[in-house]
């Protein structure tokens, strides 16, 4: 290699490992002197100590396993603006910690002085917590412990935040093995100084305590945290997992109900812990074990949960193991067609069921909360509401309620359409339904009276039409009319109606509304000029976890843990199908009834 090239290569290497080789400073100087004649300006390299990428999103460095995901949720809570200043200062610390070499007390002292000398966001009172926090993020347990040693040697008392970060670090490095006494002593220290903890400290303490035998104290800490904040998903998940590992299912179930109420999502580790618990309790007895797993599956059905693919795989294997040797059972990861047929067992999935009481509650609440809302004038006027109520009473029930404006604008962008094109689109859609002898109600606005008469005439003659004021919102009226007509009526609109769902503040009402919407909302795909209409009909089957009458389970699963509940109207495509097939009569259990299966 020629001289200059060699220099540049070594220089590149130096630039990359610059921060980590600070102790080799003299050698870097040497290489700069060598390369000075090549004209490369090296000065900027000395001043900056920043990595090219952002330092607080460590996703590229850390492998995505569950331990670091625990901390990433801590990261998610940090907004960018909070960590901007300190992120740059942390570079020195980050580089030191990622190296992984344990440092002596004096070396730590030097590094601390370097960081403090920069005097940006880090000062004497927060450097300890930040350092330990970084050790936790990078899972460098030994470095963290050596830093603590340094602190104790220098006689500095640990502040609250540092202790909390220590406990967090212990949790994230739990696979490396932590001394239980250490955590308990830390907690004692914390508890004696602050009998009542705030949300952040309580979270960290819960994480730490769940590694020890005093994990139940974590439950009290959870209640303490509730005083000032809504506890995050991480604590709940960790507590539930620990409760299962310690064979306390009642506590787990209570916590699961709580966290689902608060909208926190359950992580796959919890399901794995649940399955392990079932395994332990049944002591290897397969059938017993399956009975317990069925309780878990009922929980999926009740709360509309979706496991990840690894959990689904375990359940599948256990189902096969638990089967009676004489019954033929099938357990497969399959998918579901649009019509609702499971590809592996060729059977229809359950339809969506809404009980009469739920529907009645939704009907009565809808007028109050959504149409009227806080102020009736925001959506409409009192006279119009009265007129509409009378109209609906007289002409209900309908087969189809159509959002006139929404449908008419399907033909193209708003500004490019003439009123004739709009009227024509609407006319085609109405004709489609009238040809099938359906009773149709169309909701529109008063300015539609000016639309092209030849098409509108047909509409006025063959369907019911209600035109609201130009200033009123017509969506709540549409939904009211559809609800009033009962369970047989569908409605047609491309609007997702999310704002209206939000107004029903009650959680059960919202889920009823969502189910009703899934079952009753048609969407218009396209309308050609000639009159061809293509509709997307609503789902005929229930897209949630379900058990059918003959005892077969269909559980939708996802490939990766997503965390937020699904907002889309698309049904899940990956399903786990568990069922029993044709069996010899005498030995089959009561639940596995005989089912005819297509070959």
Partner 1 sequence: MPQDNDSTTEQNSTENSDFTSITNSDPVLEKKLKILFLEVEVLRQSGYRVPDSVKLGQWKELLEMETRSRRRKYLSYLFGVEKKQENRKKKKDEAKQKREDAMNTAPENTHIRYGLGHNTILIRVYDNTINHFYHSRLIQAMQFSQKLVIDCSYDSHMTSREAQNCGKQLMLMFSDNRIHDNPFDLYLCNARRESNTIKQLVKCIPTIYDLDFPINITEKSYLDLFPKENIVYLTPHCREDLREFDHDAIYIIGAMVDKGNNEPLSLAKAKREGLKMAKLPLDRYLMWGSGGSKSLTLNQMMQILLDIRATGSWDKALQHVPRRKIITTPELQEQCSKKVERPKRQLRYTIKDTSKYC
Binding site for partner 1 (CB under 8 A): 77, 79, 81-83, 85-86, 121-122, 124-126, 128-130, 133, 156-157, 159-162, 164-165, 193-194, 196-201, 227-230, 375, 377-378, 381, 415-416, 470-471
> Of 2, 360, 392, 73, which is closest to residue 235 (Cα–Cα)?
73
Q: In the bound complex, what is the minimum distance in angstroms from residue 494's beta carbon to partner 1?
A: 20
Round to whole Å and give the CA distance between 328 and 579.
9
> Of 422, 417, 424, 467, which is closest to residue 442 (Cα–Cα)?
467
Q: In the bound complex, what is the minimum distance in angstroms from residue 326's beta carbon to partner 1?
A: 57
Interhelix angle 3-16/25-35, nearest 10 degrees: 140
Which DSSP string corresponds to 266-278? Answer: PPHHHHHHHHHHH
Q: In the bound complex, what is the minimum distance in angstroms from residue 253's beta carbon to partner 1?
A: 26
Round to whole Å and give the CA distance between 352 and 516.
8
Q: Which is nearer to partner 1, 129 or 352 (CB)?
A: 129
Q: In the bound complex, what is the minimum distance in angstroms from residue 161's beta carbon to partner 1?
A: 3
Q: Which is nearer to partner 1, 76 or 550 (CB)?
A: 76
Round to whole Å and give the CA distance between 519 and 211.
46
Round to whole Å and give the CA distance between 489 and 392.
13
Round to whole Å and give the CA distance between 189 and 359.
55
Q: In the bound complex, what is the minimum distance in angstroms from residue 426's beta carbon to partner 1?
A: 21
Q: In the bound complex, what is the minimum distance in angstroms from residue 221's beta carbon to partner 1?
A: 12
Give all strands (DSSP E) within 2-124, no chain letters: none
Round to whole Å and give the CA distance between 408 and 422.
5
Residue 105 near residue 150 (C-beta atoms within 8 A): yes
Q: Which is nearer to partner 1, 7 or 122 (CB)?
A: 122
Q: In the bound complex, what is the minimum distance in angstroms from residue 288's beta carbon to partner 1?
A: 43
Q: Which is nearer to partner 1, 66 or 82 (CB)?
A: 82
Q: Which is nearer to partner 1, 180 or 223 (CB)?
A: 223
Q: In the bound complex, what is the minimum distance in angstroms from residue 224's beta carbon to partner 1?
A: 8
Round to whole Å and give the CA distance between 68 and 259.
21
Round to whole Å and give the CA distance between 209 and 167.
8
Q: Which is nearer to partner 1, 172 or 201 (CB)?
A: 201
385-393 CB contacts, 8 Å cutoff, 24+ apart:
388/466, 388/468, 388/477, 388/480, 388/481, 391/466, 392/480, 392/481, 392/484
Q: In the bound complex, what is the minimum distance in angstroms from residue 388's beta carbon to partner 1?
A: 16
Residue 556 near residue 544 (C-beta atoms within 8 A): yes
Kindly state the tokens that stand for 183.
């955590």
> Of 328, 228, 288, which is closest to residue 587 (Cα–Cα)?
328
Which residue stretches of 304-381 are H helix? 309-322, 356-366, 376-379
Q: Which is nearer to partner 1, 61 or 82 (CB)?
A: 82
Number of alpha helices (DSSP H) and beta strands (DSSP E) in the chain? 26, 10
Q: Which is nearer to partner 1, 343 or 447 (CB)?
A: 447
Q: Which is nearer to partner 1, 80 or 321 (CB)?
A: 80
Q: In the bound complex, what is the minimum distance in angstroms from residue 363's beta carbon to partner 1?
A: 24
Q: Which is nearer to partner 1, 200 or 516 (CB)?
A: 200
> Of 595, 569, 559, which is closest to residue 580 (Cα–Cα)?
595
DSSP secondary-structure letter at 53? S
Q: Which is nearer to partner 1, 128 or 269 (CB)?
A: 128
Q: In the bound complex, what is the minimum distance in angstroms from residue 420's beta carbon to partner 1?
A: 14
DSSP secondary-structure letter at 415? G
């Amino acid at each position: 290699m020629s001289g200059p090239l060699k220099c540049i290569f070594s220089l590149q290497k130096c630039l990359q490992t610059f921060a980590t080789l600070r102790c080799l400073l003299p050698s870097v100087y040497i290489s700069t002197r060598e390369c000075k004649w090549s004209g490369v300006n090296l000065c900027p390299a000395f001043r900056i100590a920043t990595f090219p990428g952002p330092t607080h999103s460590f996703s590229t460095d850390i492998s995505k396993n569950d331990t670091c995901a625990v901390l990433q949720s801590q990261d998610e809570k940090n907004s960018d603006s909070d960590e901007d200043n300190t992120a740059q200062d942390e570079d020195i610390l980050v580089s030191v910690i990622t190296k992984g070499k344990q440092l002596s007390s004096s070396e730590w002292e030097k590094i601390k002085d370097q960081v403090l000398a920069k005097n940006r966001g880090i000062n004497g009172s927060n450097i300890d917590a930040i350092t330990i926090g970084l050790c936790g993020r990078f899972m460098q347990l030994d470095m963290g412990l050596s830093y603590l040693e340094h602190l104790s040697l220098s006689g500095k008392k640990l502040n609250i935040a540092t202790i909390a970060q220590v406990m967090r670090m212990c949790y994230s490095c739990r696979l490396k093995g932590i001394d239980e006494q250490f955590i308990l002593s830390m907690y004692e220290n914390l508890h004696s100084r602050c009998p009542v903890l705030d949300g952040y400290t309580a979270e960290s303490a819960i994480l730490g305590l769940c590694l020890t035998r005093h994990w139940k104290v974590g439950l009290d800490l959870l209640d303490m945290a509730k005083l000032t904040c809504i506890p995050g998903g991480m604590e709940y998940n960790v507590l539930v997992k620990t409760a299962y590992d310690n064979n306390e299912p009642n506590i787990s179930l209570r916590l699961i109900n709580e966290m689902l109420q608060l909208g926190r999502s359950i992580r796959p580790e919890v399901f794995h812990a649940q399955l392990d618990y079932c395994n332990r309790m049944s002591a290897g007895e397969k059938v017993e074990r399956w009975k317990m797993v069925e309780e878990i599956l009922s929980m999926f059905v009740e709360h509309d949960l979706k496991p990840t693919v690894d959990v689904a795989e375990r359940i599948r294997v256990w189902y096969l193991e638990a089967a009676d040797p004489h019954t033929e059972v099938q357990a497969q990861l399959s998918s579901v067609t649009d019509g609702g047929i499971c590809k592996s067992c060729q059977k229809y999935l359950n339809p969506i069921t809404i009980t009469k009481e739920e529907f009645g509650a939704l009907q009565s609440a809808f007028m109050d909360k959504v149409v009227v809302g806080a102020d009736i004038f925001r959506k409409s006027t009192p006279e119009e509401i009265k007129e509409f109520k009378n109209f609906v009473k007289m002409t209900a029930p309908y087969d189809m309620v159509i959002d006139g404006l929404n449908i008419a604008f399907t033909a193209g962008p708003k500004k490019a359409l003439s009123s004739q094109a709009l009227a024509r689109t609407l006319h085609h859609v109405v004709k489609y339904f009238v040809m099938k002898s359906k009773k149709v109600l169309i909701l529109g606005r008063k300015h539609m009276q000016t639309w092209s008469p030849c098409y509108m005439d047909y509409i006025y003659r063959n369907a019911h039409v209600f035109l609201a004021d130009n200033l009123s919102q017509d969506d709540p009226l549409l939904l009211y009319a559809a609800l009033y007509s009962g369970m047989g009526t569908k409605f047609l609109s491309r609007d997702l109606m999310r704002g209206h769902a939000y107004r029903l503040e009650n959680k059960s009402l919202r889920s009823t509304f969502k189910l009703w919407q899934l079952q009753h909302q048609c969407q218009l795909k396209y309308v050609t000029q000639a009159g061809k209409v293509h509709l997307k009909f609503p789902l005929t089957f229930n897209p949630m976890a379900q058990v059918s009458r003959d005892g077969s389970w269909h559980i939708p699963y996802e490939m990766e843990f997503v965390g937020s509940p699904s907002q889309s109207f698309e049904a899940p495509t990956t399903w786990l199908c568990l069922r029993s097939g044709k069996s010899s009569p005498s030995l089959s259990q009561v639940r596995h009834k005989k089912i005819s299966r297509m070959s």
